[in-house]
Structure 1
Amino acid sequence: MHIQRKTALIAVVLVVSAIALWAVTRPAKPRLAAPSAIPVRVVNVTQQDVPRFVSGIGTVLSLHSVVVRPQVDGILTRLLVKEGQWVKAGDLLATLDDRSIRASLDQARAQLGESQAQLQVALVNLKRYKALSVDDGVSKQTYDQQQALVNQLKATAQGNQAAIDSAQVQLSYTQIRSPVSGRVGIRTVDEGNFLRSSDAQGLFSVTQIDPIAVEFSLPQQMLPTLQGLIAAPEKASVDAYLGADTDGHTGDLLGRGHLSLIDNQINSTTGTLRAKAEFSNPAQRLWPGQLVTIKIQTALDKNALVVPPTVVQRGLDSHFVYRVNGDKVEVVPVQVTYQNSDLSLIQGVQAGDVLVSDGQSRLKAGARVEVLKEPPQVIQTVDATVQP
């Protein structure tokens, strides 16, 4: 009996100890912490005039490029220009041996003189026969024969004159003149070579550099826009750049011209249309055969609401932005009217509104935010030391 009481007492002590230990060590009821502010960066909606552009890849083409070929056979006696020389239309470029043609010209002139002398005698006789025919001094047949002789000699004189004109044309071909103003290309023949008019290679080419053109292709959906630009009273501006940067920005500006024409048909295979722009090229930065990037201003949005592209978010059915209102944000649906790699034009907000530009992934309507300041600009020093 004593042992049972002792055992019960020990059990009671153990239970009380366990209850006391649990009361001491049990975790305190957690308190609900206030939600922390989400750090974000913001921008203000600005209002400005924004031009719209369309870009494409084009090839620089000369407006006039001529391969200079001989039009008569002969020996090349003189070359009066050098490779790469600038020439004007009508400048003498080369001469061919003209002795044979000059001899033919002199022969034709001699034949004309002989025919004119015979015609003069025939006209005198015709006049005499006409006077005699009044009194029947000569027969009607003799008078008619003399008239026919006069007509024959006139035709012979005309033929001789035509031979002279032809020889003069052939003689002019022995002096090769530039048909256009431009730059002389690489020469393919030297003085002393015998040239034929059937030679396809020619002597060299003369290519016009200023002004110059750029031919490019655009999607067929751009046809109405280009037609509107062509019909506009002011010529549409076209810029040509040397390639494009990896971030999508254009390279060095090579020239500024205007849209000149649209091709008369669309390529049904590629669904593109060809167009051409003309450029003034006094500095010769545009060169025939060069590949360039062209940008055409298609429109100008006045007083447009402008934000960086990172501001606009894509929803299931539409676009939206987060607008800061005090220390919280609200979701505002917007319409994107135009967008490129640098900016977006939107509708649905007001100029001056503060919109979130970075940190949207953690946001929702009514979330509390903390606006971060922009980090200080890092100024890179340039080493101006001249290396030997």
Structure 2
Amino acid sequence: MQPSNQVSQTVSTPAKKSHRLGTAVALAILVLLAAAIAYHVMHRKPPRMHRTAQVVSAASATLGDMPVTLSELGTVTPIATVMVQPELSGYLMNVAYKEGEDVEKGQLLVQIDPRPYLIDKQQAEAQLAKDQATLSQARSDLARYSELNDRKSIAQQTFVDEQFTVRQDEAAVKADLASIAQYDLDLTYCHVTSPISGRVGLRLVDAGNYVTASSSTGVAVVTQMKPTTVEFTVPQDSLGQVSERMQAGAKLPVTVSDSNNNKPIATGTLYALSNQVATSTGTVTLRAMFDNQDEKLYPNEFVNVKLLVDVLHQAVLVPTAAVQTGAPGSYVYLVNADNTVSVHKVTPGPTNGPYTAILSGLAQGDKVVTDGMDRLSDGADVRIAGAGKGDEGDADDAAPASAAHAHHRHEHHRDDSKTAS
């Protein structure tokens, strides 16, 4: 029995050693494999990404004239608006105007009852006749007293008193004449006329109303329609350029559009500047004159005003859509020769809507992106819309070129057909 046990122990010991060795080798292999995977992950290079060119629209900067304008809100302000008030009191006998009609200067508007003033005038004329008779008698007495005084037949004081009497009677006659003149003026005031030519407003009084000189409503309102003016304000920063141009004798044109700014309705000329700046708004009021023969400008109407201050000649112009604003300030995406774009800072100037003048930062012929810049960045690859790969021209230039090429092929085909026939 003992030999058998020894044999089994001898056989089992190598088997255990062999099993342990296999396990160790497997673990070593797993460790090496994990280390290799970790090394590969940590030191592998990122995959190369192929950049796709973004399709954009572009335009070249050109030279042209750019008007320098100020766009503001304005109000049509008549040259004269008069509330016609009576100069005296009385009952209205007649209202001679019609609502909303055009009247001329001196045209009758209303008639006040003149009879009380006629009676006052007649009384003044009667008093004048009495005082003139008294004056004539006093002068006759003075002439007689003068002869007696020369002969020393009367006292000196009597002669002097008669002289004073004549002067008093002369003064009374002058007072009577003044009263008659006043009543004549009152009779004139009974005919209330228009002080200006213009358009009368809505009816304020009716025949039979009693009016007074202290009436606050008046009897009519007359507004001058033509010519007329438009008042508007500009920022004080723009005042210097406007004032300089006016002092140089320039007649600055002003264009007025309706409240919706849809279309121009009148053109005029700037003629007046206010004498002070409004401290609450930092603006100054300007006034422009308009002929307004067609009466398209109505009093107190709100309008849009464009004042042409100056014109920049041979300015660098780009589409307004190309000018962006961001962290760098004002900039454009400049298309480079290698079909990449770069952020390019510019100094924009005045604009007329579709185009903007660039005061600095661009030159004639520089190509800028006008559309498709939402996902652009500095150095991005671009492809001009409508242009083939490698074509650096504008999309606008490519279309005429393609049309010309197609026309050439058509003519060449016609020539080949003739030859074959």
Category of TM-score, reference length = shorter chain: 0.7 to 0.9
User: Which structure shows the higher helix fraction?
Assistant: 2
User: 112-121 or 167-176, which moves further after superposition?
Assistant: 112-121
Match of 1:140 in 2: 156
CA drift of 1:322 comes to: 3.6
Answer yes or no: is 1:257 the counterpart of 2:268.
yes
CA drift of 1:334 comes to: 2.9
Q: Superposition pairs for residues 303-382 of structure 1, below 5 Å?
A: 303-314=314-325, 316-326=327-337, 328-329=339-340, 331=342, 332-339=344-351, 341-346=353-358, 347-363=360-376, 367-373=380-386
Match of 1:7 in 2: none
Write the letter of the residue equivalent to 2:226.
D
Q: Any conservation in 2 of the 1:260–1:276 contact (CA below 8 Å)? A: yes
Distance 2:326 2:262 in 1: 34
Match of 1:295 in 2: 306
CA drift of 1:103 comes to: 1.3
What is the SS of the residue equivalent to 1:328?
coil
Distance 1:270 1:356 in 2: 38
Answer yes or no: is 1:104 the counterpart of 2:120.
yes
Gaps of 5+ in 1: 1-29, 245-249, 377-388
Gaps of 5+ in 2: 1-45, 387-394, 400-421
Alignment root-mean-square deviation, CA: 2.8
Write the letter of the residue equivalent to 1:108.
A
CA drift of 1:149 comes to: 0.8
CA drift of 1:213 comes to: 2.0
Answer yes or no: is 1:277 the counterpart of 2:293.
no
Go from structure 1 to structure 2 and tell me whether the alpha carbon gap of 1:338 and 1:329 turns closer, same or farther (over 3 Å shift).
farther
What is the SS of the residue equivalent to 2:143?
helix
User: 32-41 or 81-90, which moves further after superposition?
Assistant: 32-41
What is the SS of the residue equivalent to 1:202?
coil
CA drift of 1:35 comes to: 4.6
Q: Any conservation in 1 of the 2:320–2:353 contact (CA below 8 Å)? A: yes
Go from structure 1 to structure 2 and tell me whether the alpha carbon gap of 1:254 and 1:192 turns closer, same or farther (over 3 Å shift).
same
What is the SS of the residue equivalent to 2:64?
strand
CA drift of 1:184 comes to: 1.0
Deviations along 1:314-361, one digit per CA (max 9) or x if unpaired, are 464454434445452453443323346432211333323332212334
Match of 2:227 in 1: 211
Distance 1:285 1:180 in 2: 20
What is the SS of the residue equivalent to 2:57?
strand
Write the letter of the residue equivalent to 1:372.
A
Q: Any conservation in 1 of the 2:90–2:112 contact (CA below 8 Å)? A: yes
Answer yes or no: is 1:75 the counterpart of 2:91.
yes
User: 359-368 or 224-233, which moves further after superposition?
Assistant: 359-368
Distance 2:140 2:63 in 1: 96
Distance 1:281 1:206 in 2: 17
CA drift of 1:362 comes to: 4.6
Distance 2:232 2:346 in 1: 35
User: 105-114 or 271-280, which moves further after superposition?
Assistant: 271-280
Match of 2:67 in 1: 51
Q: TM-score by structure 2 length?
A: 0.74
Match of 1:286 in 2: 297
- When Rg is computed on C-alpha atoms for both structures, the one with the higher figure is 2
User: 108-117 or 91-100, which moves further after superposition?
Assistant: 108-117
Match of 2:215 in 1: 199
CA drift of 1:113 comes to: 2.2
Distance 1:344 1:292 in 2: 25
Answer yes or no: is 1:189 the counterpart of 2:201.
no
Distance 1:292 1:136 in 2: 90
Q: Any conservation in 2 of the 1:322–1:329 contact (CA below 8 Å)? A: no
User: Which structure shows the higher strand fraction?
Assistant: 1
Q: TM-score by structure 1 length?
A: 0.80
Deviations along 1:55-77, one digit per CA (max 9) or x if unpaired, are 22222222211122222111211
What is the SS of the residue equivalent to 2:146?
helix
Give the alignment partner of residue 237 of structure 2, picking from 221, 225, 233: 221
Deviations along 1:205-234, one digit per CA (max 9) or x if unpaired, are 111111122222333333323433442312
Distance 1:216 1:293 in 2: 9
Write the letter of the residue equivalent to 1:130.
S
Deviations along 1:11-56, one digit per CA (max 9) or x if unpaired, are xxxxxxxxxxxxxxxxxxx997865433221112221111111122
Match of 1:38 in 2: 54
CA drift of 1:259 comes to: 2.3
What is the SS of the residue equivalent to 1:274?
strand
Aligned residues: 345
Write the letter of the residue equivalent to 2:218.
G
